[in-house]
Every structure is written in C-alpha cells, then in structure tokens.
Structure 1
Amino acid sequence: MKWTCILALLLLPAQIFGQMWLSREDTYFFAATGVDIRNATIGGTVNDASYDGTFSLGYRNVNFSILAYYETFKGIRYESLGINPGFLLRPGKKLIPAADLSLSIIRRPWKTYPSLAANTRIEYHFDRFFVYCRGEYRWRTDYDFFQVSVYGGIAIKFGFN
C-alpha cells in the first residue's frame, strides 16, 4: 500500500504536466525484464554464475521517466525493490540515452536496508518494444560498499495515446 501511494504521488506531476509536453507518441507505459549480465555468465564478486533478474513497470512522458522495479537473486538470498525517477535524452528517436536515480530497499534474510543507486541506460526502440543495456552504481548498504552492475533486457510498450 505504501509503495502504491508513493508511485501515485510520483506519477501525478507527469500526468498534469504531460499534457503540455511535445508528442503524444512519446507517452506510454512499459513492462520490462532484464538480467545482470556478469552474474548470469561468469558470476560476481561473491557468487558463481546464476540468475539475477529484474522486473519493472514504468511510465514515460517525453523526457520524464519513472519505474518501479523488483530484483531477485536467489543465489545470494538478495532482493531489492524501489522507484526510479529519471530523465530521457532524445525522446522519440531509435537510440535513447537515459539516466535515473534508484530509491530502494535491499532485503536480506537477516535485515532490510535502504539503498541508493545511479543508473545510466542506452535503449534501442522499435514500434512496440525496446531493448536496453543499463549500468548501475549501487550503494550496497547490506555490505557497506559500492558495486557496479550491468544489466541487459527488453521492455514492452503499451497504453499509447
């Protein structure tokens, strides 16, 4: 319930100001899934190669972006969820750079921790979907260090005007 209220409050300005922005074709919702590429292929600093996946729902209105995500990594008993407000450069183009800030929590079996991350992303857009590569610089408050991760994934667009 708490996350629903936060998401609604963050989406409200986008809806109000979205009517004033440029193109309706650059306004859409999306659902995405991705995987940590290093963890999936060679493993990480504390784990062998295994699945570390993300699932997200988001909203775009020209340059504004917001998404809510969930990450699960059973190999190290790690979960993370959060909200990422962000900014898109070159909306409406095929190749779109983006950046956002992740306001999140990390859940481990022994405790839940607040966390922050900075993300940069490059997306290649098709009519109804896009593929992406995302770099993340996360403050791992469960271990008190910064970690760099690279994710790849796909997103489906829906709710076009």
Structure 2
Amino acid sequence: MKRLFLIATLLLPLQVIAQPWITREDTYWFASTGVDLRNATFGGTVNDAAYDGTFSIGYRNVGFSIIAYYETFSAIEYESMGINPGFVVRPGKKLVPAGDISLSFIRRPWKTYPSLAFNARMEYHFDRFFVYLRAENRWRTDYDFYQFSVYGGFSIKFGFN
C-alpha cells in the first residue's frame, strides 16, 4: 500500500508537466460535498436509509487531479478519509469523465484499517461549479469484502481567473 501511494504521488504529476495546453479554465481548486445515493434513499446491506456524506477539497491541473476527502456515516459508526490522485479525460469540456484511486483509511470504533478504492466520475461543468456522479469500488478492509457505491454531489471551483 505504501509503495502504491509513493508511485501514484510521484508519477502522476509528471503527466501534467508534459502538457503544453494548460489554460486558467483547466487549472483550479474545488470544494465538494456529496452523499451516497443508495444509502440516502434505500439503505445499504447493513443499514436502513441514512445520511452517508462526503466532504472534499481538490486541485485540478488539466489532466491531473488530486482530492483529499472525509466521509462520515454515523448510522454504522463508519468514517473514511484519504487522498485520491487521478486523471481527467476531457479537461475544459462541459461533460468531463475522470478516474482516480483512493488511498485511504477506514475508522471504526474498534480499529482503523487501510483501504483502497477505484473511482470513476462523470462531471457536468458550469462556469464556477460542477455536479458529479461517482461510482466507487472499495475494498472494505474492516469486513474484508468489496463494496460498490454511487455518490452524487456538488463542487464549487475557486482560484482561477
């Protein structure tokens, strides 16, 4: 896990250095909030419908993205936090697909566990904000199984123009 984190943080920024078409619209900071849509509406495999929310801050520079996030799900005493280095497929467009890997920790009342997730995002961009859907496949090391979740959210861009 440490080796994977080191490779991701050292090699992914090199992708940005080699791209000469960087514009101000493609480089910005953003703050986001979102919810797990299934848990909010129907409930999950071990819980009734309840709030499972995420808060994050990120930086995007053309094809490179980095996100630090915190997730709280008090109904099952679950917290997750981590960093997500990733890539953006169509920077500067209205409809933007992106992907990342989540290097994170799951905190439960009895123990803290390392965790790994793969995320695919679809974002629709407006001038100063965007909305997103994010599919996540997380290795739930607290229970030793993979779980698929879908999040929806809202992000505000800042730090450009």
Same fold, TM-score > 0.5, yes or no: yes
Q: Distance in 2 between matches of 1:79 and 1:86?
A: 22
Indicate the residue corresponding to 1:113 in structure 2.
113
Aligned residue for 1:123, secondary structure, equals: strand
Distance change in 2, residues 1:138/1:76 (3 Å): same
Which residue does the alignment assign to 2:159? 159
Q: Please report the TM-score for the alignment, with normalisation by the length of structure 1.
A: 0.89
The match for 2:139 is 139
Partners of 1:150 and 1:121 in 2: how far apart? 10
Residue identity matched to 1:51: Y
Task: Return the TM-score normalized by structure 2.
Answer: 0.89
Residue in 1 that maps onto 2:42: 42
What residue number does 2:68 align with? 68
Partners of 2:125 and 2:148 lie apart in 1 by 25
Return 5+ residue gaps in structure 1 as ranges: 1-5
Mapped contact 2:22–2:61 kept (Cα < 8 A): no
**Letter aligned with residue 110 of structure 1:** W
User: 1:18 touches 1:61 (CA, 8 Å); kept in 2?
Assistant: no
Question: Percent identity over the alignment?
Answer: 75
1:22, distance to aligned residue in structure 2 (A): 2.4
- 1:3 is aligned to none
Task: Give the letter aligned to residue 81 of structure 2.
Answer: L
Q: Name the CA distance, whole Å, in 2 between partners of 1:33 and 1:18.
A: 31
What's the RMSD between the two structures over aligned residues? 2.0
Question: 3-state SS of the aligned residue for 2:47?
Answer: coil
- Number of residues of Structure 1 aligned to a counterpart in Structure 2: 152
